[in-house]
A and B are shown apart, each in its own frame.
Chain A
Amino acid sequence: MQIDLRTVAIEPLRLTFDHIARRLGPDRQPSRYQEGTLDIQPCDNLQYRPTWDPARQLYDPARTRIVMRDWYAFKDPRQYYYGAWTMARARQQEAVESSFALFESRDLGSLIPAETRHTALQLLLPLRHVAYAANLNNTAMCAYGYGTAVTQPCMFQAMDQLGIAQYLTQIGLLLGDSADLDDGRNRWLGDGRWQELRRLVENTLVQKDWFELLVAQNLVIDGLLYPLVYQQVIDKRLAAAGGVSLTVLTAFMNDWFSEAARWVDATIKTAAAESPANAALITAWIARWKQRASDALEPVAELALGESAASVMEHLNLALEARCARLGVPLAKEAA
C-alpha cells in the first residue's frame, strides 16, 4: 500500500544545463554521471602555451594519434563519477578488510604449505612495482588525455592500481614480513626472470602517446597479467596446492579486473568504431605490445606453473586475441 505524501511542487524552468541539453535533449533529467562528466574540460579559447609542451595547447587532442570527432563519445559503462566510484570502492574495501582480518585471526596462513606460500610471495611481491607503474601510466593518461569522459576513468584506474599495489604490500606483510618485501624488490631489480617485464614496464613509462599507453597498459599488459596471476595461478594452481585461503586475499584483484575491463573494452571499441584509421592504429599498437608482454610474462608464469607456463600463456594470448576481435581490432593472422 502506498502512502500519499505530498510536497509543494514548483514547475522548473529547465531540467539541466544547456551543454547537457544540447547532447541529450532538453526534456531529460541527466544522471549525475552525465552532469559531472559531459563537456566539463575547458576546450575553447585556451590561454598560453604549456611551458612543458610549447608545441601544443594546454588541453590538446593531438597528444595521441587517435582522432575523434567528439571526445565525449567515450562512455564509462560503470557510470563512475567521483561519488559513485569512491562509494563502490569503499564497499569492496570493507570486504577486503574483513577477509584480511579473518585470514589473520584464524591464522589461515599457517595452513598454507610452505612451498605454496613461498611461490605466492615470489610471484606477488614484485607485482607491487608493476601496479605502481600502472598507477603512474594511468595518471599520465588523465593528465595528457582529452575530454573528461576518457580522462576521468583513467584517474580512477590510477588510484585503483595504487590500491592494488598497497593490497599486495599488505598481503606480503600477512604472509611474510618486510624482509620479503625487500626480497621481492631485489628480484624485481635483479632476478633474470623479471627483467623482461621490468624492461617492458619502464618502456611504457616513457611512452608519449597517451592512447597507445592506454592500449599497452590497460588492454594488453593487464589483459594478460591479471588472468595469469589471479585466475590461473592463485585461483587454480595455488588453490589446488593448499592455498585456497589465498584466493580471498586476491579477490579484489579479480573483481576489479573484470569490472575495469568493461570500461577498457568500451573505450577501445568506441575509438576503433570511430574510423578505420583509429582501428588500424590500435591494432598496430596491440601487435607492438602483445608479443612483448606475453614473452615478458612467461618466465614469471614459470615461477608458479613450471612447464605448463607456455600452454597457459598460449591460452591467455588466444583469449586476448578473441577479446580484441570482439572490440573491432582483430589482430591480423600471420600468413600461413
Chain B
Amino acid sequence: MDMKVKKKLALKEKFALMTRGLAWETSYEPMEAVYPQMAYEGLRIHNWDAWEDPFRMTMDAYWKYQAEKERKLYAIIDAFAQNNGHLGVTDARYINALKIFLSAVPMLEYNAHRGFARLGREMRGVGPQIACQMQAIDELRHAQTQIHSLSNYNRFYNGFHDWKHMSDRVWYLSVPKSFFEDACTCGPFEFIIAISFSFEYVLTNLVFMPFISGAAYNGDLGAMTFGFSAQSDEARHMTLGLEVIKFMLEQDPANLPIIQRWIDKWTWRGVRLLTIVAMLMDYMLPKRIMSWKEAWELYFEENGMALFNDLARYGIKLPDCTELIRKEKDHLSHQAWNAFYTAGMMTNFHTWIPTPEEMDWLASKYPDSFDQYYRPRFEHYRELEKAGKRFYNTSLPQLCQVCQIPMLFTEGDDPTQIAYRQVTHQGDKYHFCSDYCRDIFTHEPDKYVEAWLPAHQIFMGNCFNPGDDPSAAGFDPKKSVLDYWHIAFGRDNMDFEGSEDQKNFAAWRDQATRN
C-alpha cells in the first residue's frame, strides 16, 4: 500500500497496523470457542505474535498485482485459442499429458482453495490467517485459469470432456483425490505442513517443472502461460511453508516429534503422488526436458537436502523414506508407464510404446535399469502390437490402501519382486505398496479404513452405470464401469496409434499449413 503518513512509520509497522492490529482477544466468547481447531492436534503455540510475515502484501497491492497478471494471462489464452495454438505443439501425443493435468490438477487446486479457506478462518494468529486467505484465493485462481486454458483443448481433442466427473471416480484419479482429501480432513497444523511445507516447498518444483517446462518445450504457449503466471503466487506460498515450519518448531520443543512425523508422512505421500509426473516426464513429453531421475537428483537430492540441513538445527531429520526413493528413481517412471500402457482401456488418455529413438534416450538416462528390465517388456508389447494383438490388461489391480496406486512398485533392492505389505486391522486385511504407506495406516487406521478404493468399489458393485442391471442377461461389467466413468470407448481410451486425436491433429495441421 503506497501510503504516506505524517509520522513516518516503518513498512513493517504499517503492515502490522493493517493486519495484526485488526484482531483482539474476545471476551464475550472464549477464544477457544472462536478458534476451536487449535488444540486437538497437540501442537503448542505460546505466542502468535512471534509469527514473522513471510511477505507483506495488503489487499490493494494484491488486487493491483494480480489483476495485471490476469489481464496478461487471459489475453494470451484468447490469442492462443484464436490462432489454433494447439496445432503448434510438437506432437499430438503431448496433448495426453494435458488430459492428465486437467483431470488431476484443478481438483487439487480447488481442494487447496477450500483447505486454505478453513485455515484462513481457524488459525489463531492474524499473520497466518491472512497469508492462508490469500493462498485460498490464489488456489482458486489456479484452478480456474487451468480450466479456462485447457477448455480450448477440450473443443478439439478427446479425454478432456468430463474431467470433473472423472476426477471423483476414475481409478487412477483417486490417487490425487485421496492425497488432497487426506490433507483437507487433517487438523489445520498438519494440513499446513502437508501442503505448504511438504508439497509446496519441498516438492513443488517437481510438480511444476514437468508440466510447465514441458509445455514450454513442446510448443504449448497456453499451458505454459498459466504456469508462469502462477509462479509468483507459488513463490509466496513457498515462503509461507518455510515460515510455518520454523514458527511451529520455535514455539515449543514438544512440537518436534509431531512435526517430524507429519514431514515423514507427507514427503512420502507427495512422492507417491509424483509417480505419475515421473512417467509423464520420461514417456509423455515428445520433447523431453530432463529425466525424472535427473529432476529428482536436482530438486530433491540437492536443493531439498540443503533445506533439511537448514532445519537440522531444530532437530528435524531427513525422512527415512528418502533412501527408498533414491533406489526407486531408476524404476518409477518405467513401472508406471507399464501400468498405464497395459491399463490403456481404462484411461481417459492415450498410451503408446516409445519409439526406438525414445527407448535409446531412456537407456542413456537410465543406464542401470532401462535395458535390463524395461526395454524387453516394451519391445515385447511392440511385437504384439505389430501382430495385431495390442495388449490390454482388463483385470483390476490390487491397490495400496493409503496411496491408492496399484501394487506396481518393486522392492528397493530387487526390481523383479513386487513389494507387498499387509496389516490386519479389526479382522480385515489391508494391503500396502511399501513400509511407509503401511506405517501411515497403522498410525491412523480409523482414518484410512475410510478410503474409497476404486478397484474395491467396482468389485462391490458401486461403480456401475446408474440404470444398468448387473443381474440382467448379457450385462457387461467392463462397459458399465467405463460408462460410469464417462470414458467414451474408442475415443478417450486405447492406443494413441489409430486414435481420433492422432488423425484429427494430422488433418488439421495439414489444413492449417498447406494449400
On whether the beta carbons of A8 and B511 are closer than 8 Å, the reply is: yes
Q: Tell me which residues from 135 to 188 in chain A have a Cβ below 8 Å from any Cβ of chain B.
A: 135-136, 139-140, 142-144, 148, 151-152, 155-156, 158-160, 162-163, 165-167, 169-170, 173-174, 177-178, 181, 185, 188
Interface string of B286-303 (1 = CB under 8 A from A): 000000000000000000
The answer to whether B29 touches A40, judged by C-beta atoms less than 8 angstroms apart, is no
Report A186-228 CB contacts with B as 1/0, cut-off 8 Å.
0011000000001100110110000000000000000000000
Question: Contact between A128 and B22 (Cβ–Cβ < 8 Å)?
Answer: yes
- Interface residue SS majority, chain B: helix
Give chain B nearest CB distance to A204 CB in angstroms. Answer: 9
Determine whether the beta carbon of A198 is less than 8 Å from that of B28. yes
| Residues of A71-105 contacting chain B, CB below 8 A | 81-83, 86-87, 89-91, 93-94, 96-97, 100, 104
Q: Chain B: interface residue count, which band? A: 35 or more
**A242 interface residue, CB < 8 Å from B?**
no
Q: Is the CB of B155 within 8 A of A12?
A: yes
Residues in A with CB closer than 8 Å to B21 are: 128, 169, 181, 185
Q: Which residues of B contact A100 (CB under 8 A)?
A: 3
- B107 engages A42 (CB within 8 Å): yes
Contact of A177 among B6, B155, B512 (CB under 8 A): B6
For B68, B71, B154, the residue with the greatest tally of chain A CB atoms inside 10 Å of its CB is B154
A7 within 8 A of B: yes
Please determine whether B117 and A155 come into contact, CB atoms closer than 8 angstroms: yes
Interface window among A44-52, A277-285, A312-320: A44-52
User: Which of A14, A16, A43 is the most central at the interface, judged by chain B CB atoms within 10 Å of its CB?
Assistant: A14
The stretch from A31-39, A232-240, A266-274, A326-334 touching chain B is A31-39
CA gap between A45 and B23 in the complex, in Å: 39
Is the pair A206, B185 in contact by a Cβ cutoff of 8 Å? Answer: no
Q: Evaluate contact between B137 and A159: CB separation under 8 angstroms.
A: yes
Interface size class of A (residues with CB under 8 A): 35 or more
A26 and B106 CA atoms in complex are apart in Å by 22
Annotate B95-130 by CB proximity to A: 1 below 8 A, 0 otherwise. Answer: 000000000001100110110011011100010011
A32 adjacent to B148 (CB under 8 Å): yes
A residues near B55, Cβ cutoff 8 Å: none
Q: Is the pair B162, A18 in contact by a Cβ cutoff of 8 Å?
A: yes
A273: min CB distance to chain B, Å: 26
Which of B7, B64, B84, B164 contacts A39, CB < 8 Å?
Answer: B164
Bound Cα distance A100, B5 (Å): 11
Cβ A97 vs Cβ B2 within 8 A: yes
Judging by beta carbons under 8 Å apart, are B185 and A177 in contact? no
A336 proximal to B (CB < 8 A): no
Interface check B432, CB cutoff 8 A: no
CB-CB under 8 A for A170 and B3, given A10-B511, A205-B26:
yes
Q: Which residues of A contact B448 (CB under 8 A)?
A: 48
- Cβ-defined partner of B185 (8 Å) among A12, A58, A159: A58
Residues A170 and B1 in contact in the complex (CB < 8 Å), given A48-B182, A139-B136: yes
Tell me which of A42, A48, A160 contacts B111 (CB under 8 A). A42
Cβ-closest chain A residue relative to B155: A12
Binds A, one of B138-146, B193-201, B244-252: B138-146
Looking across the interface, which residue of chain B has its beta carbon closest to that of A8?
A: B512
- Judging by beta carbons under 8 Å apart, are A7 and B28 in contact? no
Contact between B26 and A166, CB atoms less than 8 A apart: no
Tell me, in angstroms, the Cα distance from A330 to B71 when the chains sit together: 42
Given that A129-B22, A173-B3 are known contacts, is A17 also in contact with B160, CB under 8 Å in the complex? yes
Which of B17, B64, B134 contacts A93, CB < 8 Å? B64
Chain B residues lying within 8 Å of A18, measured Cβ to Cβ, are 161-162, 165, 486
Contact A41 B114, CB 8 Å, known A17-B163, A49-B450: yes
In the bound complex, do residue B164 and residue A19 qualify as a contact, i.e. CB atoms below 8 Å apart? yes
**Alpha-carbon gap, A132 to B225, bound state (A):** 35
**A90-B67 in contact (CB<8A):** yes
* CB neighbors of A among B162-184 (8 A): 162-165, 167-169, 174, 177-178, 181-182, 184
Alpha-carbon distance between A205 and B122 when the two chains are bound, in angstroms: 11
CB pair B133–A202 under 8 Å, yes or no, is no
Instruction: Please determine whether A13 and B133 come into contact, CB atoms closer than 8 angstroms.
Output: no
A residues near B174, Cβ cutoff 8 Å: 45, 47
For B64, the chain A residues whose CB sits under 8 A away are 90, 93-94
Tell which of A86, A202, A205 has the most Cβ of chain B within 10 Å: A86
The CA of A91 and the CA of B177, in the complex, are separated in Å by: 37
A7 and B83 CA atoms in complex are apart in Å by: 7
**Residues of B contacting A132 with CB < 8 Å?**
22-23, 126
Q: Contacts A10-B511, A46-B181, A47-B451: A178 and B129 contacting too (C-beta < 8 A)? A: no
A15 at the interface (CB under 8 A from B): yes
Whether B129 pairs with A136 at a CB distance below 8 angstroms is yes
Bound form: Cα–Cα A155–B451 in Å: 29
Q: Is B254 an interface residue when CB atoms closer than 8 A count as contact?
A: no
Known: A17-B160, A198-B28. Contact between A143 and B60, CB under 8 A? no
What is the CA–CA distance of A205 and B35 in the complex, to the nearest angstrom? 9
Report chain B residues within 8 Å CB of A148.
110
Chain B residues in 8 Å Cβ range of A86: 63, 66-67, 70, 141
State whether B168 touches A42 (Cβ < 8 A): yes
C-alpha spacing A40/B144, complex, angstroms? 9
A35 in contact with B147 (CB, 8 Å): yes
Q: Does B158 contact A (CB under 8 A)?
A: yes
Known: A17-B162, A185-B24. A89 touches B63 (CB 8 A): yes
Contact residues in B for A206 (Cβ distance below 8 Å): 29, 33-34
Instruction: Answer whether residue B18 sits at the interface, using C-beta atoms and an 8 A cutoff.
Output: yes
Contacting pair B511 A49 (CB below 8 A): no
- Per the bound structure, the CA–CA distance linking A188 and B130 in Å amounts to 21
A135 to B26, CA, bound (A): 16
Tell whether, in the assembled complex, residue B144 and residue A81 are in contact, meaning their CB atoms are under 8 Å apart: yes
When distances are taken between beta carbons in the complex, the residues of chain B under 8 Å from A158 are: 120, 133
Contact between A203 and B187, CB atoms less than 8 A apart: no
**CB closest chain-A residue, reference B109:** A40
- CA–CA, A178 and B17, complex, Å: 8
Instruction: For B121, give its contact among A39, A83, A140 (CB under 8 Å).
Output: A140
Which residue of B has the minimal Cβ distance to A181?
Answer: B17
B153 to chain A minimum Cβ distance, whole angstroms, is 10
Q: How far is the CB of B86 from chain A (nearest CB, A)?
A: 9
Task: Assess whether A10 is in contact with B185, with CB atoms less than 8 Å apart.
Answer: no
25 A-B pairs within 8 Å (CB atoms) are namely A10-B156, A39-B164, A41-B114, A42-B111, A42-B167, A47-B178, A47-B451, A48-B185, A48-B451, A59-B114, A86-B66, A86-B141, A87-B67, A91-B67, A93-B64, A97-B60, A139-B121, A140-B121, A142-B117, A143-B121, A165-B18, A169-B17, A170-B1, A170-B3, A205-B34
By Cβ-Cβ distance, the 5 closest A-B pairs, closest first, are: A90-B67, A163-B59, A12-B155, A36-B144, A132-B22
Show the binding face of B for A, using Cβ within 8 Å.
Answer: 1-7, 9, 13-14, 17-18, 21-24, 26-29, 33-34, 37, 40, 58-60, 62-64, 66-68, 70-71, 73-74, 82-84, 106-107, 110-111, 113-114, 117-118, 120-122, 126, 129-130, 133-134, 136-137, 140-141, 143-145, 147-148, 151, 154-158, 160-165, 167-169, 174, 177-178, 181-182, 184-188, 447-448, 450-452, 457, 486, 504, 508, 511-512
A residues sitting closer than 8 Å to B (CB atoms) are 7-8, 10, 12-19, 32, 35-36, 39-52, 58-59, 81-83, 86-87, 89-91, 93-94, 96-97, 100, 104, 128-129, 131-132, 135-136, 139-140, 142-144, 148, 151-152, 155-156, 158-160, 162-163, 165-167, 169-170, 173-174, 177-178, 181, 185, 188-189, 198-199, 202-203, 205-206
